[in-house]
A and B are shown apart, each in its own frame.
Chain A
């Protein structure tokens, strides 16, 4: 078969890594797919741009927060000047654009595999309570705030410590009201309103990466427990697990809402109680972990899009270990100059 040009964003493999490089590696590892990865970057220093063995070609994109028309034009330019068959957006901030403009993107001849706008909005951090009720899972006490007065009330009602979260990204733990206020200001400045305040719940933090096919079925799911996280809360070491309760919650969510596309469920598990902390409508940064244990979710999406046979089983073994490690790359400034001045490498 012909090479498939797949656009992947989030190739910022830094200390708070985007999912892109792991997703790209997964696609390269499918023995039957011939994938050419087109990196979609937002800064000329995203490491993926320089990792030409994973990201075959990279383009700088306009910010999705700036102007939808400019973004569509850029996709169109890439499609025609280079080639772009599929885009797998990997960053939260891009998803409202990609979900809303699915039809326009399809009209450019570029395929996506995403939830509908309604499905996407449903898992907003400020609406978790509705989902929790529908799929019968608990959530920590949560308040959505848009002012300092509301923040104060929320902290008082929930009790310290609390997690203070941005509408799209970032979550900070606050042990004092002053800390909560500082986080609040930081989040508002970067991500706007609202800000979510969540109480702390206790238990083991567990995560699931899964893909729904849009008809209620799974294209695979892998559960993990993070064993060691960095000061930014990012996984460094982890292990695969099979927690039946959590697997059910994920499957229920995908079945009930006919979720299409990747997602990450963040849960706290305390015995039989599963607290749903967050549903991220995209691949997590550790997606390659699932590929490594035999569940290649990015490849399954491409297979589904092109109606190629899916693997016979999505099963995996619990007890497989994941270790992230740092690596270094030395090169000269040429590629940096090129991407800076021309917007592509």
Chain B
């Protein structure tokens, strides 16, 4: 069950899950990834998004996205 869609996310990177009451913080790159995942984008599309907006190599972005998804998984958000 994907909980990502229920999250309330503000522009400053404050993330609140209204179903569990948990709060999280993220940063601008994390926001981009979250928004991508919520829009059902594939990791490779998100890599493109990151590379378009930020000064980063695709390889680094890919590694970081994988790690980010790992973290979401440990919080049972995906």
Contact = CB atoms under 8 A, between A and B. Distances in A.
Assess A/B contact in the complex (Cβ within 8 A). Answer: yes
Interface of A: 333, 336-337, 340-342
B7 to A, nearest CB: 13
A311 B12 CA distance: 49
A341 B13 CA distance: 8
Nearest first, the 3 A-B pairs at minimum CB distance are: A337-B14, A341-B12, A341-B14
A333 B16 contact: yes
Contacts of A341: 12-14, 25
A331 to B, nearest CB: 15
Interface in B1-60: 10, 12-14, 16, 23, 25
Given A340-B14, A340-B25, A342-B12, 7 more contacts: A333-B16, A333-B23, A340-B23, A341-B12, A341-B13, A341-B14, A341-B25
Interface of B: 10, 12-14, 16, 23, 25
A14 B76 CA distance: 31
A59 B40 CA distance: 39
A336 B10 CA distance: 13
A100 to B, nearest CB: 33
A336 B25 CA distance: 12
A216 B54 CA distance: 63
A340 B14 CA distance: 8
Contacts of B13: 341
Contacts of A340: 14, 23, 25
Nearest to B13: A341
Nearest to A341: B12
A340 to B, nearest CB: 6
A243 to B, nearest CB: 49
Contacts of A342: 12
A333 B12 CA distance: 13
A337 B12 CA distance: 9
A4 B25 CA distance: 35
14 contacts: A333-B16, A333-B23, A336-B23, A337-B10, A337-B12, A337-B14, A340-B14, A340-B23, A340-B25, A341-B12, A341-B13, A341-B14, A341-B25, A342-B12
Contacts of B12: 337, 341-342
B34 to A, nearest CB: 15
B22 to A, nearest CB: 12
Contacts of B25: 340-341
Contacts of B16: 333
A333 B14 CA distance: 10
A26 B61 CA distance: 54
A341 to B, nearest CB: 5
For B10, B14, B16, which residue has the most chain A Cβ atoms within 10 angstroms?
B14
Contacts of A336: 23
A152 B10 CA distance: 55
A100 B26 CA distance: 37
Contacts of A333: 16, 23
A136 B25 CA distance: 56
A337 B16 CA distance: 9
Nearest to A342: B12
